[in-house]
Amino acid sequence: MHEYSIVSALIEQCEQHALANQATHITRVDIKIGVMSGVEPALLHTAFDTFKQDSICHNAQLNMQIQPLVILCNDCQIESILSERTIICPACQSYRTRVLDGEEMLLMQLEMEQDGD
Amino acid sequence: MCKDCGCSLTRHDHLGEHTHHNDHSHAHGHSHTHEHQELHTNPQLNDKKTLSVIHKILDKNDVEAGHNRAHFEAHNITAFNIMSSPGSGKTTLLEQLKEYTQLNYAVIEGDLETSRDADRLIAKGIKAYQIQTGSACHLDAFMVHGALHHLPLEGLDICFIENVGNLVCPASYDVGTHKNIVLLSVPEGDDKIEKYPVMFRRADVVLVTKCDLLPHFDFKMDEARAQLKKLNPDIQLLEVSIKDGDSMRAVAHWLKDNMRGTQ
């Protein structure tokens, strides 16, 4: 259950971005979670809803984009999106591939508000 | 100076204020790819603003991990992160390894409670420091940084970080090591590779431990190798038993071949 630590890091980042931009509320947090990032999206959601209460994100909606594995084959040069958790090229069965996406956890976008007064 | 602990290495904050140090000379072993687009605020408008960031969620940990790596490199130390389930033989391997390698090593131990593992190693004459994580299921770069200040690094070739026994959470955290060693013991079964793909994808070597128990369990080594190849085709799987000196020498060999600057 490291999702709580990840959410703490996420909310801390949100607070720093809000501060840097003189925002008083964050209304939307968009994140991208790779299927091979080692995070369970449902647990991340629960953790966010718990931790956001006392933070600048307390009214924020969390949007999670689940990123499948994307690989580029070094042999046939075909880029593939995989549904299985392997890194084998589905086009030519080569093991010589490079993972392009699907292993990271990224904060993508924030929607923020300023108090008018 | 590192502002948290006063140690002599520089650090970099990527969020908020950007501070630049003149003595920045070390290279971090990882790359940062993020963009900042400052929001153009207009105090007249009470609008919602959208800020595109693209920022690693664990960036702060990764920066600290780079700082730890710089610590190791300043002392010419190679650091290995050892990960596995609880009870797969991490501490036992480190206790026995001493007999098979000339390399001088110390161990940072991570457990929820007790200093039993560090005590076991110290009893064998191995330098060790115990981190008690309380309820945390993994070590992060900050905990390791704290421990580094309690461990004399002079004269060491290797620092092992023995992570909390767990095949899930530690995989997400860079703690500032150079390579990951993942253990899988025979009684756990060959299917763990397929069940915990992220951990085995992150491995730089997999040690199948307790191989002296192979006759008593249905562990299929071919299946383990096949599953590992699907996730991580280029890495070695070593069959290890502390009762088999040759297998321990193979581990010592792998370590020697994977010291920084030897590849």
Q: Any idea what the CATH number is for the domain that residue B79 is in? A: 3.40.50.300
Is B140 inside any structural domain?
yes
What end-to-end distance do the CA atoms of chain B give, in Å?
A: 31
Which residue is closest to A33 within chain B, CA to CA?
Answer: B57
Collect all residues of chain B within an 8 Å Cβ-Cβ radius of residue A111.
Answer: 48-51
Q: What angle do CA B153, B157, B160 make, to 5 degrees?
A: 75
Q: B93-128 pLDDT, tens per residue? A: 999 999 999 999 999 999 999 999 999 999 999 999
Domain that holds residue A20: 3-112
- Please give, rounded to a whole number of angstroms, the shortest distance from the CA of A106 to a CA of chain B: 4
Is B228 inside any structural domain?
yes
Q: Verify whether the Cβ–Cβ distance B53 to A6 is below 8 Å.
A: no
Q: Are B164 and B111 in contact (CB under 8 A)?
A: yes
Question: Is pLDDT above 60 for B39?
Answer: no
Residue A61, beta-bridge partner list:
A28
| C-beta atoms surrounding B233 within 10 Å | 14
Residue type, B117: D
* Probe site for chain B from A2, A40, A87 (most B CB atoms < 10 A): A2
Q: Are B125 and B100 in contact (CB under 8 A)?
A: no
Question: Is pLDDT above 50 for A73?
Answer: yes
- Please give, rounded to a whole number of angstroms, the shortest distance from the CA of A57 to a CA of chain B: 14
Please report the pLDDT score of residue B144 as a whole number: 97
The pLDDT > 90 percentage for chain B reads: 79
Is A117 inside any structural domain?
no
More confident residue, B19 or B212: B212
pLDDT confidence tier of residue A114, bands split at 50, 70 and 90: confident
Collect all residues of chain B within an 8 Å Cβ-Cβ radius of residue A100.
Answer: none
pLDDT confidence tier of residue B10, bands split at 50, 70 and 90: very low
Question: Is pLDDT above 90 for B262?
Answer: no
pLDDT confidence tier of residue B12, bands split at 50, 70 and 90: very low
CA distance B222 to A46: 39
Query: What total number of domains does chain B contain?
Result: 1
Question: Is pLDDT above 60 for A17?
Answer: yes
Query: What total number of domains does chain A contain?
Result: 1
Burial of B52-89, coded b for 16+ CB within 10 Å and e otherwise, reads: ebebbbbbbbbbbbbbbbbbbbebebbbbbbbbbeebb
Please report the pLDDT score of residue B263 as a whole number: 60
Which residue is closest to A7 within chain B, CA to CA?
Answer: B57
Structure token digits, residue B246: 């040759």
Identify the CA nearest to B173 among candidates B146, B228, B136, B209.
B136
Please report the pLDDT score of residue A16 as a whole number: 95
Check if B201 contacts A (Cβ < 8 Å): yes
CA distance A24 to B29: 36
Question: Is pLDDT above 90 for B248?
Answer: yes
Residue A70, beta-bridge partner list:
A81, A101
Q: Are B179 and B256 in contact (CB under 8 A)?
A: no
Please report the pLDDT score of residue A116 as a whole number: 61
Q: B77-98 pLDDT, tens per residue? A: 999 999 999 999 999 999 999 9
Identify the CA nearest to B173 among candidates B129, B207, B143.
B143
Please report the pLDDT score of residue B41 as a whole number: 46
Query: Environment class of residue A108 by beta-carbon count within 10 Å: exposed (0-12), middle (13-18) or buried (19+)?
Result: middle
Q: Verify whether the Cβ–Cβ distance A112 to B39 is below 8 Å.
A: yes
The pLDDT > 70 percentage for chain A reads: 97
Question: Is pLDDT above 80 for B37?
Answer: no
**pLDDT, average across residues B133-141:** 93
Is B28 inside any structural domain?
no
Q: Any idea what the CATH number is for the domain that residue A53 is in? A: 3.30.2320.80
- Please give, rounded to a whole number of angstroms, the shortest distance from the CA of B107 to a CA of chain A: 23
Which residue is closest to A109 within chain B, CA to CA?
Answer: B52
Question: Is pLDDT above 50 for B36?
Answer: no
Instruction: Quickly list H helices, B79-139.
Output: 90-97, 116-123
Q: B162-219 pLDDT, tens per residue? A: 999 999 999 999 999 999 999 999 999 999 999 999 999 999 999 999 999 999 999 9
Please report the pLDDT score of residue B5 as a whole number: 55
CA distance A44 to A64: 9
| C-beta atoms surrounding B180 within 10 Å | 24
Check if B235 contacts A (Cβ < 8 Å): no
Mean pLDDT rounded to a whole number for chain B? 87
Q: Verify whether the Cβ–Cβ distance A12 to B60 is below 8 Å.
A: yes
Please report the pLDDT score of residue B126 as a whole number: 97
Q: Verify whether the Cβ–Cβ distance A105 to B199 is below 8 Å.
A: no
Collect all residues of chain A within an 8 Å Cβ-Cβ radius of residue B47.
Answer: 113
Q: A84-107 pLDDT, tens per residue? A: 899 999 999 999 999 999 999 999
Which residue is closest to A88 within chain B, CA to CA?
Answer: B230
Cβ partners under 8 Å of residue B18, min gap 6: none
Structure token digits, residue A95: 């093991």
Is A105 inside any structural domain?
yes
Is B219 inside any structural domain?
yes
The pLDDT > 70 percentage for chain B reads: 82
Domain that holds residue B189: 62-257
List the single residue in B43, B47, B233 with the smallest CB-CB distance to A95.
Answer: B233
- Please give, rounded to a whole number of angstroms, the shortest distance from the CA of A61 to a CA of chain B: 13
Is A75 inside any structural domain?
yes
Structure token digits, residue B181: 């060693």
ipTM: 0.91
CA distance B80 to B105: 10
Is B47 inside any structural domain?
no
Q: What one-character-per-residue DSSP string does A26-91 give?
A: EEEEEEEEETTSS--HHHHHHHHHHHGGGSTTTTPEEEEEEE-EEEEETTT--EEEESSS----TT
**pLDDT, average across residues B54-68:** 96
